[in-house]
């Protein structure tokens, strides 16, 4: 695994050694499909591969030569990234919901010209599942007629949304979630993250180091996480009106961004899974490592069966939302079914002066 040290992607040793071997044998495919969840490292691996193909050092990718540095800072003329938010002015990009045929045509034209400053042209298509059908068919022609010194790398979170004809032309590489310990170590060694924070981020990111690294560099991500979690914890002690209000708020967010609501549900699921783990004595495996005391305290107030029922409820709410059920109804049912904490404990907390 010595070579993998020069590849910046965190984990993914299987994918890295496959690509490294293909490069060494001169057997690299001209079209690749990297599949994995958001922030798992697809773009980093693609950039690393582009570096390996254009590196000026004896053992590519070195990461330090002129070419490697230009690629890392997105300033290399022969390495292009396209997707919804790149290639075009920002107002146009905002209103777009798919990668259009115009972008693919432009890429085709560029790919027919020889490399400008490097050894190999690399086109990275981020969010390939967002290619319009027209664009995907147009791309297919390019993939079917490979030309020298051009590599295409498609990145996707869901290959089932891509035409099978496109997938079949590509070398598939799946990028699985990375172990928390590995992410924690990288946060420590490369980003100098404080140990407690590195441990928390490595667990909150669920195997996707990109999120953990962003959160290590930008406090607002962790703040946003804490705000969302506090809001959810407030719901436990809220009356029906408070719960209805929150459900309505989430439902209206859902119409603007499904992703945000799914993130809230995921966060909620993490919390109740943690409660379950604490309840059965596996505190080492929890996600919210910074809130162990609160988890311990709350676990006292619930029976195991109640915790399991909430976990089932969150999962089924997520499924129903995916199947286009009425979001307000789904979220109301979810919020109303969250059990209150044990009465005796609540009394002690809320009315000590009468005791």
CB 19 within 8 A of CB 153: no
Cα torsion through 243, 245, 247, 249, rounded to 10: -150
Q: What's the min distance (Å) between Cβ of 58 and Zn ion? A: 10
Q: Among residues 65 and 140, whose Cβ is nearest to Zn ion?
A: 65
Q: What's the start-to-end Cα distance of the chain, in Å?
A: 64
Q: Among residues 55 and 278, whose Cβ is nearest to Zn ion?
A: 55
CA neighbor of 96 nearest in space, from 108, 87, 105: 87
Q: What's the min distance (Å) between Cβ of 69 and Zn ion? A: 8
Which residues inside 51-70 make contact with Zn ion, applying CB under 5 A?
Answer: 55, 57, 62, 65, 68
Residue with tokens 């969010």: 127
Q: What CA–CA distances, in Å, run from 286 to 6, 26, 93, 172, 299?
A: 32, 45, 39, 33, 13
Q: What's the min distance (Å) between Cβ of 124 and Zn ion? A: 18
Q: What's the min distance (Å) between Cβ of 68 and Zn ion? A: 3
* H-state helical runs in the chain: 13-24, 42-54, 66-72, 90-95, 101-111, 133-144, 164-168, 180-191, 195-204, 209-217, 219-237, 240-256, 258-279, 292-301, 304-322, 327-336, 343-350
Q: What's the min distance (Å) between Cβ of 40 and Zn ion? A: 24
Q: Among residues 68 and 183, whose Cβ is nearest to Zn ion?
A: 68
What would the x/- binding string for Zn ion be over residues 68 to 97, using CB under 5 A?
x-----------------------------
How many Cα atoms sit within 13 Å of 43 on the Cβ side? 18
Does residue 23 interact with Zn ion by CB under 5 A?
Answer: no
Q: Among residues 73 and 95, whose Cβ is nearest to Zn ion?
A: 73
Q: Among residues 70 and 169, whose Cβ is nearest to Zn ion?
A: 70
Q: What's the min distance (Å) between Cβ of 66 and Zn ion? A: 8
Q: Among residues 22 and 108, whose Cβ is nearest to Zn ion?
A: 22
Q: State the residues that interact with Zn ion by CB under 5 A.
A: 55, 57, 62, 65, 68
């Amino acid at each position: 695994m010595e070579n993998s040290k020069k590849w910046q992607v965190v984990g993914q040793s299987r994918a890295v050694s496959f690509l490294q071997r293909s490069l060494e044998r001169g057997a690299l495919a001209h079209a690749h499909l990297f599949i994995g969840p958001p922030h798992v490292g697809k773009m980093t691996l693609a950039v690393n591969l582009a570096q390996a193909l254009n590196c000026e050092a004896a053992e590519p990718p070195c990461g330090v030569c002129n070419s490697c540095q230009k690629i890392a800072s997105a300033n290399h003329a022969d390495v292009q990234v396209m997707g919804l938010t790149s290639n075009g002015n920002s107002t146009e990009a905002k209103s777009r919901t798919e990668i259009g045929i115009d972008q693919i045509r432009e890429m085709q034209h560029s790919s027919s010209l020889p490399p400008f400053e490097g050894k190999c042209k690399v086109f990275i298509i981020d969010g390939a599942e967002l290619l319009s059908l027209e664009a995907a068919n147009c791309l297919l022609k390019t993939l079917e007629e490979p030309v020298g010194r051009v590599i295409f790398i498609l990145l996707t979170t869901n290959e089932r949304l891509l035409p099978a004809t496109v997938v079949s032309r590509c070398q598939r590489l799946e990028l699985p979630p990375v172990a928390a310990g590995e992410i924690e170590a990288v946060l420590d060694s490369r980003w100098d993250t404080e140990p407690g924070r590195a441990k928390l981020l490595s667990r909150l990111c669920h195997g996707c180091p990109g999120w953990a690294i962003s959160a290590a560099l930008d406090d607002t991500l962790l703040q946003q996480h804490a705000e969302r979690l506090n809001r959810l914890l407030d719901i436990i002690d809220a009356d029906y009106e408070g719960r209805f209000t929150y459900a309505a708020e989430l439902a209206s967010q859902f119409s603007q961004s499904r992703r945000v609501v799914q993130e809230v549900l995921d966060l909620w699921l993490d919390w109740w899974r943690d409660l379950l783990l604490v309840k059965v004595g596996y505190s080492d495996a929890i996600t919210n490592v910074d809130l162990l005391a609160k988890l311990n305290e709350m676990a006292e107030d619930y029976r195991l069966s109640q915790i399991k029922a909430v976990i089932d409820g969150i999962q089924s709410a997520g499924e129903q939302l995916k199947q286009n059920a009425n979001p307000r109804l789904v979220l109301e049912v979810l919020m109303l079914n969250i059990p209150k904490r044990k009465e005796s404990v609540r009394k002690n907390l809320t009315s000590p002066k009468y005791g």
